[in-house]
Amino acid sequence: MHPDDPRCIWEDVPAGDLILRVRRPPAAEDLIDEREFADDERLPYWAEVWPSARVLCGVLAGMDLTGRTVIELGGGIGTGAMTAALRGARALSTDWYPAAVEFSRWNARNLGLGMDAEVMDWRDPPESVIHRGPWDIVIGADILYEARNGVALGALIPALCAPSGEVIIADPRRPDSRPFVDAMQRCGWGYRRDDLPVPGRIDETGPIVHVHRFTPPRTDHNVPVLL
């Protein structure tokens, strides 16, 4: 489905005092491709804006990101990167679904934002994205929902995050987030957690989202975090 498709809907995403009006497919279920699921257990979760994304947008809206570089992982429609761009960052949204990247680019253009978007699978990141780093801030919303995600992100995030950078991941208290959070701390990453209320519609994950904030260990270069 293309963003110009009349079946697409508009959604107002709160970002602090701002509202991002984004266009997205009406329902992720309609986009399920049985072949993709059989190959890789891939499901089109990108087509929704999840409660954690709204919390992440609120956090970023409260930051001055002028001149900072920001990469969003599993960005879906890219609302985190869009908010970062609104706050002055040079932002890139990434997702393994080309359709998500198409919607991100369309929405950023529609909002007049200079945000960029690229296809990236965490397990096989393109050199073009790695070479654009390291990034000042690595962000993600609801990306730790399966054990395999934490394994891939533990290997990837240290390669993306600048030694003086920060990682901000909003997570709706998914059980599979725990091994990732534990492993990052075990490997010496600084850690803080903020428990924040979800603005707007609440789903079965409840009214509170954990915002995990990590800073790299004090070394010259980051090493992969093994789970």
Three-state secondary structure call for residue 195: strand
Q: Is 180 in the site for ligand SAM (CB under 6 A)?
A: no
Select from 86, 6, 51 the least CA-distant residue to 204. 51
Report the residue from 100, 115, 167, 209 that binds ligand SAM according to the rule CB under 6 A: 100
- Among 63-71, 114-122, 126-134, 187-195, the segment contacting ligand SAM (CB under 6 A): 114-122
Cα separation, 91 vs 2, whole angstroms:
23
Residue 139 C-beta-side C-alpha neighbours within 13 Å: 33
Complex with ligand SAM: residue 52 or 69, whichever CB lies closer: 52
20-39: contacts with ligand SAM (CB under 6 A):
none
Could you tell me the CA-to-CA distances from 210 to 108, 111, 150, 161 in Å, in that order? 26, 28, 16, 20
In angstroms, what is the minimal distance from the CB of 219 to ligand SAM?
26
Cα separation, 192 vs 197, whole angstroms:
17
In angstroms, what is the minimal distance from the CB of 103 to ligand SAM?
10
Which residue has the CB atom at the shortest distance from ligand SAM?
Answer: 74
Site track 64-83 with ligand SAM (rule: CB under 6 A), x = hit: ----------xxx-------
Complex with ligand SAM: residue 21 or 164, whichever CB lies closer: 21
Select from 20, 21, 24, 19 the least CA-distant residue to 9. 24
Chain residues binding ligand SAM by CB under 6 A are 45-46, 49-50, 52-53, 74-76, 95-97, 100, 120-123, 141-143, 145, 149, 152
